């Protein structure tokens, strides 16, 4: 049983954390950008989170999860944009968008990648025959290539990644890195000591869109081995992106492990102080700055909510990554070594980049693409989604990781909410 003094101590600790967040959280949003006229982004929009709530974080977790359930249970069908491009009668004669399926994968993941490809083909690609790009820092084996070819309807490109680009730069201070990895491991950050994981996160953040093969493409659909896809798609999702001027499409949004991104936001603020003009006036700032549901995360991540679009599924326009704001910023991030001294993931990097430098109205929530990557599933109440339980998002103890409701509450216009 908890004794009364301990209860009081807990209450005091909670009050201290909340008051610190209010002071530090707001300051870290406003601090750097006060360095000039930069703090004012456009009109009255500032890089400061101004929503307040009298509820406890736990109450907000419950409320947000309930809202998520309600949203996912609403019957939906397809986007009502009126311009969906239907499957052609002959996919081989079809004038496809400039797009590819994309996966970074190891030879040993062949079984898992085939499992996912079979589903993507059945639900979508057998109707359109988009090509696939397979990336690996090791050469793909003949067995890998031959097996894959049996399961895909589109052209295949098996590509190596230049080792000099994949491996960690020589500028990384190995002693500092070792100490940092020990620290991250002590804080239970997953894959803290796995250098290949850091390489992967950095590659997907900073480099993949410049791979010589990918330069011929504009849009990609990223997938991961072992994910399950549930919904039939009867329209061309790449043409949907193009015709509706979308830059980034996601399905699931989550909080991140705060210790993995402690300095991502402060470094970004340093960059923005030099490049205030890169900020998009209609950015998704609230999503990035929210501090109500998991205030300890925003505190430890120095002002960043840690909310991100889960990048193991994404459909996006690589011209955004290739643009000056994103590429200057990620190159700056890379120069700080944070991919190795911390464990910055590509998901928070993509999300912070797109949230700051792109119009939030160009970000699309694909509610009609249901998929699962352990331990999260997105399953809408959509007749085309089969084999998943509607609104069954995750285990009870992980409900506080849901960040989709923030996207819904803070960033989506009424038009976007009613698009399905």
Ligand X SMILES: Nc1nc2c(ncn2[C@@H]2O[C@H](COP(=O)(O)OP(=O)(O)OP(=O)(O)O)[C@@H](O)[C@H]2O)c(=O)[nH]1
Sites for Mg ion among residues 172-231 (CB under 5 A): 224
**Pair 33, 272: CB distance under 8 Å:** yes
Q: Which residues of 149-161 are buried (b: 16+ CB within 10 A; e: fewer)?
A: eeebbbebbbbeb
Of ligand X, Mg ion, none, which one does residue 225 interact with (CB within 5 to 8 Å by kind)?
ligand X
Q: In terms of CB distance, is 75 or 375 closer to ligand X?
A: 375
Site size for ligand X, by CB under 6 A? 13
- Smallest gap from Cβ 199 to ligand X, in A, equals 6
Cα–Cα distance for residue pair 405/183, rounded to 1 Å? 32
Interface with ligand X (CB under 6 A), residue from 136, 259, 268, 294: 136
Q: Is 279 in the site for ligand X (CB under 6 A)?
A: no
168: partner contacted, choices Mg ion, ligand X, none (Cβ within 5-8 A by kind): none
Contacts 24+ apart (CB under 8 A), 117-123: 117/148, 117/151, 117/152, 118/151, 119/228, 119/229, 120/223, 120/229, 121/151, 121/152, 121/153, 123/229, 123/230, 123/231, 123/232, 123/233
90-109: contacts with ligand X (CB under 6 A)? 103-106, 109
Q: Which of ligand X, Mg ion, none sits in contact with 18, Cβ below 5 to 8 A by type?
A: none
Site for ligand X in 331-350 (CB under 6 A): none
Which helix or strand (DSSP H or E) is residue 115 part of?
helix 110-123
Q: Is 225 or 348 the residue whose CB approaches ligand X more closely? A: 225
| Site for ligand X contains 184 (CB under 6 A) | no
Following DSSP, what letter does each residue of 38-73 receive, concatenated? GGEEETTEESS-----SS-HHHHHHHHHHHHHHHHH
Name the one range near ligand X by CB under 6 A: 29-37, 53-61, 121-129, 193-201.
193-201
List the alpha helices (DSSP H) in 137-250: 142-149, 163-166, 174-186, 195-202, 237-243
312 binds ligand X per the rule CB under 6 A: yes
Active-site annotation holds for 314: yes
Catalytic site residue from 314, 342, 358, 411: 314
| Radius of gyration over every alpha carbon of the chain, rounded to an integer in angstroms | 22
User: Which one among 137, 159, 167, 228 touches ligand X, defined by CB under 6 A?
Assistant: 137
Question: Known catalytic residues?
Answer: 314
- The contact set with Mg ion (CB under 5 A) reads 224
- The contact set with ligand X (CB under 6 A) reads 103-106, 109, 136-137, 196-197, 200, 224-225, 312
């Amino acid at each position: 049983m908890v004794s009364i003094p301990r209860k009081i101590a807990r209450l005091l600790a909670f009050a201290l954390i909340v008051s610190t967040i209010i002071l530090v959280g707001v300051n870290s949003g406003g601090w750097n950008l006060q360095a000039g006229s930069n703090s004012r982004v456009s009109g009255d929009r500032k890089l400061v989170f101004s929503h307040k709530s009298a509820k406890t974080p736990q109450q907000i977790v419950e409320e947000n999860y309930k809202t998520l359930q309600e949203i996912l249970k609403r019957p939906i069908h397809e986007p009502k944009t009126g311009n969906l491009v239907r499957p052609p009668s002959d996919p081989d004669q079809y004038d496809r968008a400039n797009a590819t399926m994309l996966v970074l994968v190891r030879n040993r993941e062949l079984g898992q990648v085939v499992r996912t490809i079979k589903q993507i083909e059945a639900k979508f690609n057998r109707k359109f025959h988009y090509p696939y790009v397979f990336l690996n820092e090791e050469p793909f084996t003949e067995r890998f290539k031959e097996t894959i070819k049996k399961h895909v309807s589109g052209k295949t490109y098996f590509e190596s990644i230049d080792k000099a680009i994949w491996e960690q730069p020589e500028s990384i201070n190995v002693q500092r890195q070792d100490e940092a990895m020990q620290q991250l491991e002590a804080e239970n950050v997953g894959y803290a000591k796995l250098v290949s994981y850091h390489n992967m996160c950095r590659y997907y953040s900073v480099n993949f869109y410049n791979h010589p093969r990918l330069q011929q493409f504009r849009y990609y659909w990223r997938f991961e081995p072992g994910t399950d896809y549930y919904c039939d798609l009867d329209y061309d999702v790449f043409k949907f992106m193009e015709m509706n001027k979308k830059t980034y499409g996601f399905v699931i949004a989550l909080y991140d492990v705060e210790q993995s991104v402690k300095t991502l936001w402060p470094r970004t603020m340093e960059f923005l102080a030099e490049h205030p003009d890169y900020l998009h006036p209609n950015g998704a700032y609230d999503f990035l700055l929210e501090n109500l549901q998991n205030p300890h995360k925003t505190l430890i991540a120095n002002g960043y909510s840690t909310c991100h679009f889960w990048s193991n599924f994404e459909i996006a326009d690589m011209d955004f990554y290739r643009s000056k704001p994103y590429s200057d910023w990620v190159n700056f991030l890379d120069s700080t070594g944070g991919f190795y001294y911390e464990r910055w993931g590509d998901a928070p990097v993509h999300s912070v980049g797109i949230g700051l430098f792109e119009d939030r109205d160009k970000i699309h929530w694909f509610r009609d693409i249901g998929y699962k990557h352990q331990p999260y599933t997105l399953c809408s109440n959509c007749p085309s989604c089969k084999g998943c339980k509607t609104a069954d998002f995750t285990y009870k103890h992980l409900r506080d990781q849901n960040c989709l409701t923030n996207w819904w509450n803070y960033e989506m216009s009424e038009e976007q909410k009613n698009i399905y």
